[in-house]
Amino acid sequence: MNRFLLPLGLFALLVVLLAVGLRRAPEKGVIESPLIGKPAPQFTLPDLFDGTRRVQSGDFAGRWHLFNVWGTWCAECRAEHETLLAIQKGGVVPVVGLNWKDDDAQALAWLAQLGNPYAAVAADRDGRVAVDWGVYGAPESFLIAPDGRVVRKQVGALTREIWERDFLPLVTRAAPGG
Amino acid sequence: MQTQPHSRLRRLSLGALLLMLAGVSHAIDPTPPLADAALQARYEAITHELRCMQCQNQSIADSQVGLAADLRREVRTLLVEGKSDADIRDHMVARYGDFILFRPRMNARTAWLWLAPFVLLAIGAVVAVRVLRKRAQLVDADAQVIDRFDGTDDT
């Protein structure tokens, strides 16, 4: 009996290891951002609404804001749009958009048609700023704290549930009442 | 003489196939090579080591996805700026995390990945030595029994 104990124990250990691996497999789809807890990357880009003006990362320094990467070529962004409009309506944090490798005219038409949830939209036509943010698939959203640090990142469409569960408490806990 | 048109046809089709393949391998990275051959060699080596985050089992050198092209441009820019290979890897890891490297670096989180084969080898060696010793003892014990039998038989 005793001689089976060790192999059996090892087998049980292997089963546990593989079970945990399988359980966690879906998480592999989302890659943890190394930016969490670090200062948000700086940028200066043309304003989507007025090419002569600039949108800068410093424009929203000192306040909570949501940095949202989107494009009209991105189907999931359309699904996410309603959530962004709700967040804007909520008025807790402004949403700053990064229009990623998109056509300006199409982006403007999209906002005219679906509504504009953004306090400002920066046009990242060649995708350089997106690389600095480690963006690999739109939509992506980053919650930025008043001190300029990235606090939370969502890859894929933001839903009301995710916003209320994972994002909003971080803001309201830091500044009660709003 | 009858086979000649066939072999010519075969040679022609082989040539056409090679041309097509050449077209494919060029289509992925349409940018002209860097003027400095040494830089171009490093560019090719690094882009093969970086993962395309959108198509995770391809390197950015092998992927036609837009993001891969952006990352190749980033590598190119950094190389021309005179950054070392290690600088470029750090630059990418700071933005995309360790996952972008096909060869994970040794740190607290990946240590087990690097050490596991050696640990398993050591466990295997210990088990093998113990099994072999046990078997050797069994042979000794058998020999003693045989000796005893031989002894009793002789007297």
pLDDT digits (tens, 9 = 90+) for A91-108: 999 999 999 999 999 999
**Residue B123 shares a structural domain with residue B62:** no
Contact by Cβ (8 Å): B74, B80 = no
Q: B16 or A19, which is more confident?
A: A19
A99's enclosing H/E stretch is: strand A95-100
Q: A165 vs chain B: nearest CA distance in angstroms?
A: 25
* Residues in chain A within 8 Å Cβ distance of B71: 131
Tens of pLDDT, residues B2-58 = 445 566 667 777 666 666 655 444 457 778 888 889 999 999 999 999 998 887 788
**CATH number reported for the structural domain that contains residue B44 in this entry:** 1.10.8.640
User: Which of A124, A131, A150 has the most B C-beta neighbours within 10 Å, making it the best mutation to test the interface with B?
Assistant: A131
Q: Give residue B18's pLDDT.
A: 62
Asked if A131 and B97 come within 8 Å (Cβ–Cβ), the reply is: no
**Residue B56 shares a structural domain with residue B20:** no
**Residue B8 shares a structural domain with residue B70:** no
**Residue B42 shares a structural domain with residue B99:** yes
Q: Residue A174 and residue A145: Cα distance in Å, rounded?
A: 9
* Residues in chain A within 8 Å Cβ distance of B53: 31, 136-137
Q: Give residue B2's pLDDT.
A: 44
Q: B128 or B26, which is more confident?
A: B128
**Residue B58 shares a structural domain with residue B87:** yes
**Residue B114 shares a structural domain with residue B65:** no
Share of chain B above pLDDT 70, in %: 81
ipTM of the complex: 0.80
User: Which of B81, B95, B98, B126 has the most A C-beta neighbours within 10 Å, making it the best mutation to test the interface with A?
Assistant: B95
Q: Residue A147 and residue A56: Cα distance in Å, rounded?
A: 16
Structural tokens at position A39: 């200062």
**Residue B110 shares a structural domain with residue B51:** no
**Residue B96 shares a structural domain with residue B146:** no
Measured CA to CA in angstroms, residue A32 lies from A29, B57, B135 at distances of 10, 18, 51
Contact by Cβ (8 Å): A120, A43 = no
Q: A87 or B23, which is more confident?
A: A87
Question: Of B90, B105, B120, which residue is a domain's last?
Answer: B105
Give the range of the structural domain holding residue B92, as residue numbers without chain letter.
Answer: 32-105
* Residues in chain A within 8 Å Cβ distance of B104: none
CA dihedral B70, B75, B80, B84 (to 10 degrees): 160
Per-residue pLDDT, averaged over A62-72, amounts to 96
Q: Residue B62 and residue A102: Cα distance in Å, rounded?
A: 24
Average pLDDT, chain A: 91
Q: Give residue B16's pLDDT.
A: 67
Structural tokens at position A42: 């700086």
Contact by Cβ (8 Å): B125, B132 = no
**Residue B111 shares a structural domain with residue B133:** yes
Per-residue pLDDT, averaged over A33-40, amounts to 92
Helix (H, G, I), strand (E, B) or coil at A150: strand
Per-residue pLDDT, averaged over A75-82, amounts to 95
Q: Give residue A104's pLDDT.
A: 95
**Residue B41 shares a structural domain with residue B100:** yes
Per-residue pLDDT, averaged over B68-80, amounts to 95
Query: From the list A31, A126, A130, which residue is nearest B99 (CB)?
Result: A31
Q: Give residue B151's pLDDT.
A: 64
Tens of pLDDT, residues A117-160 = 999 999 999 999 999 999 998 899 999 999 999 999 999 999 99
**Residue B67 shares a structural domain with residue B121:** no
Query: From the list A127, A128, A134, which residue is nearest B96 (CB)?
Result: A134
What is the domain count for chain B?
A: 3
Instruction: Report the range out of B31-45, B73-87, B111-125 with the highest average pLDDT.
Output: B73-87
Q: Residue A162 and residue B104: Cα distance in Å, rounded?
A: 31
Q: Give residue B32's pLDDT.
A: 83
> Model-level pTM?
0.74
Asked if B53 and A32 come within 8 Å (Cβ–Cβ), the reply is: no
Residues of B with CB under 8 A from a CB of A: 53-54, 66-67, 70-71, 74, 93-99
Q: B19 or B84, which is more confident?
A: B84
Please give the full DSSP string across B49-86, using - where no structure is assigned.
Answer: HBBPSSSTTSBTTT--SHHHHHHHHHHHHHHHTT--HH
